[in-house]
Amino acid sequence: MAQSNVDIHEDTIHFVKKSNSTGKNERWSKAEISDLFNKPFNDLIFMAHKVHRDNFDPNAVQLSTLLSIKTGGCAEDCGYCPQSARYSTDVENTPILSVDEVVKSAKAAKKAGASRFCMGAAWRKPKQKDLDIVKDMVVSVKALGLETCATLGMLNNDQAGQLKDAGLDYYNHNLDTSPEYYGDIISTRTYQDRLDTLEHVRNADIHVCCGGIVGLGESLDDRIGLILQLANMEEQPESVPINLLTQVEGTPLMGTEQFDQLDFIRTISVARITMPKSFVRLSAGREVMEDGIQSLAFFAGANSIFYGEELLTTGNPNIEKDQLLFKRLNLKTI
């Protein structure tokens, strides 16, 4: 029997009220998140858009640019990552960039319209000599008037404090997937390792950027589990990147069954409903998405993108293509 309009209306009221109370000691249950994922598609994106409109300008998108400041040679075995030293890929190992090189890239990103500049390094965890260089990068990029973000691997409390003192605004450290599926993707660090780093970042009063990846071969239950972890953090991430796996020759996940992009939109929608105050970012995978899919993602609550022609070592839509899409959708950038 078809769901009545009354049922849909009541359902929407329930979940929108639940979303609006998030952050006030409210927690999401696995059953509630499962219910959202299993709703009819139109009902789900309608709810997500309502929550989005209640909390953000629905016609504004934040632009972040990501630069690899040290590429390749990573000791970790993340099954999706071409920068792992364990896999044979086309990625060349390069030493850490100079501060001047990073500033040059940051200036170009700002000129192109980005408001946040993210610096990523392929480390399990940074050494002090490397962290000292990154701190100089943070100071120099922040002086340009850009928000600063870094992703450097695992941190301890002291390292997080040093980055805060340098002026770092955001630290990215993704959970990737559910706790249950995590061991199938990575064996060289534990889920708790990731949670510990996030706690150190919070202790240092740095904003958290934390999301995950879909298309890893995970089940629906794993996507539910990922959102459950993110939404029920004591303080929800200020930024939630949702990545679509970019398959790279030579990595273990090459050849994984292609992910249904409408299920990607479902994931964006559920992230928006359960984390109403967070920026939800379209991250890796946009280069294979048609404009219609990206437009649906913006409607469903995505309001941040990685902007620029490369994400660490993989492709991204070029700036002109993004600008044209924004013009077609009458989206303004922030």
Would you name the residues annotated as active-site residues?
Answer: 74, 78, 81, 118, 149, 209, 281
Q: 83-101 burial string, b = 16+ CB within 10 Å, else e?
A: bbeebebebeeeebbebee
Ramachandran region, residue 27 (left: φ > 0; alpha: ψ -120 to 50; beta: rest): beta
In angstroms and rounded to an integer, the radius of gyration of the C-alpha atoms of the chain is: 19
- Whether the CB-CB separation of 103 and 296 falls below 8 Å is answered with no
Token pair listed for 191:
């889920």
Contacts of 328 (CB under 8 A, 6+ apart): 291
If we measure between CA atoms, which residue out of 286, 313, 72, 86 comes closest to residue 186? Answer: 86
d(CA 186, CA 216): 11
> How many other CB atoms are there within 10 angstroms of residue 131's CB atom?
21
- Whether the CB-CB separation of 146 and 111 falls below 8 Å is answered with no
Place of tokens 């902007």: 307
Contacts of 247 (CB under 8 A, 6+ apart): 253, 254, 255, 256
> How many other CB atoms are there within 10 angstroms of residue 328's CB atom?
10
If we measure between CA atoms, which residue out of 289, 194, 246 comes closest to residue 83? Answer: 246
d(CA 113, CA 301): 21
- The number of CA neighbours under 13 Å toward the Cβ of 85 is 10
CB under 8 A, 24+ apart: contacts of 20-27: 20/51, 20/54, 20/276, 22/231, 22/236, 22/274, 22/275, 22/276, 22/277, 23/235, 23/236, 23/277, 27/232
